[in-house]
Structure 1
């Protein structure tokens, strides 16, 4: 799953990777982003519009589900095309969530040990996600997960769908709507490009913030 992540990468470098103008206001570094908050996304609000940076609510609920519908934070890649809840957004409302890395917890005796995952080269990550419009002209989203690969498999059985750099434009392409075409054009980042290290259990509390949360634990 993906239940916590960080975004402290330079907004200019993220915009450059997406071939977009830098966001007008940038954003404050966040080291402990939890569900049920506004997060930075990259999405198209119309098929003829350009991708743009905007805040989206991390918790997905289609408008037709009503206020009592579930509000998942993740969508399993294996169910995107078969689930009524996700299928429409998978074909028409795909978005990207930029991240510097994400957290996962290794089960053990006592408290679970958190790990921080990032790219080996420390470049930004782009997480595949889906979005739906809300009544107030904002949007909500769910981050897509897939079976864990590489080093991530040692910590948890799921991981976010991290896209490779060549797939970003295709993922946002509104004309790419068929499942097979999407699968042919979009690829996840190779597992060998990722690394991870144990971090402080302070990240377990969503009210904790700051760069010390991603610092490796002393051996």
Structure 2
């Protein structure tokens, strides 16, 4: 689920500034892959600010890089619970990719906001500047493509997610994204 992100700095940087009132200067990449550096919004001394991190974590027990955590267990799984309690972040992006198997080949789809607005993916920060995105059950529009989707936040929820208390964060875990998305076959 959500193994690649789309980050296009224009209009992303301007929209983040207008919505969150912070300077945001991401690297523009059509496909951000796990293990790469990614720009995020984090709590820096009690205010929202940009921080960069590496997408994914490889614990000793894992066979591969972990890039996502399910909202259903993020507060209780030992790998993620400290990050959820203490380092909630948001990743502004232009969209994300999913693949479907069609006639023995994979077809890639780009999911992006219908009005070309910034999408804010809920994420948590982990040790050594690592981060993972959070996934949830898909909405009706995304369910034909994958059994999970990113936990997307509206711009007015980002501050509560990052700076709010645990109860506010818990309430946002059940956020259902019902805004229209464009799903583009690549």
TM-score (norm 2): 0.89
Q: 5+ unaligned residues in a row in structure 2: which ranges?
A: none
Decide which of 90, 111, 118 is 2:84's aligned counterpart.
Answer: 90
Cα shift at 1:148 = 1.1
Which one has the largest radius of gyration?
1
1:76 matched to 2:70? The reply is yes
Decide which of 151, 154, 173 is 1:164's aligned counterpart.
Answer: 154
Residues matched between the structures, number = 182
- The CA distance in 2 between the partners of 1:109 and 1:185, in whole Å, is 38
Higher helix share: 1
User: What's the Cα RMSD here?
Assistant: 1.9
Cα shift at 1:74 = 0.5
Task: Please give the secondary structure, in 1, of the residue aligned with 2:103.
Answer: coil
* 1:77-134 CA distance string (max 9 Å, x none): 1111121111111111100111000000122222111111011111010000000231
Higher strand share: 2
**2:170: which partner in 1?**
183
Which structure 2 residues correspond to residues 22-171 of structure 1 after superposition, within 5 A? Answer: 22-23=23-24, 26-45=25-44, 48-60=45-57, 68-70=60-62, 71-134=65-128, 139-171=129-161
- The CA distance in 2 between the partners of 1:190 and 1:159, in whole Å, is 10
Q: 5+ unaligned residues in a row in structure 1: which ranges?
A: 200-219
Cα shift at 1:18 = 1.5
1:198 matched to 2:182? The reply is no
Contact 1:39 1:55 in 2 (8 A): yes
Task: Please give the secondary structure, in 1, of the residue aligned with 2:143.
Answer: helix
Cα shift at 1:189 = 5.6
Could you list the structure 1 runs, at least 4 aligned residues long, displaced by more than 6 angstroms after superposition. none
Structure 1 79/116 Cα, relative in aligned 2: closer, same or farther at 3 Å? same
**2:2: which partner in 1?**
2
Cα shift at 1:187 = 6.0
Task: Please give the secondary structure, in 1, of the residue aligned with 2:47.
Answer: coil
Task: Please give the secondary structure, in 2, of the residue aligned with 1:84.
Answer: coil
Cα shift at 1:54 = 2.0
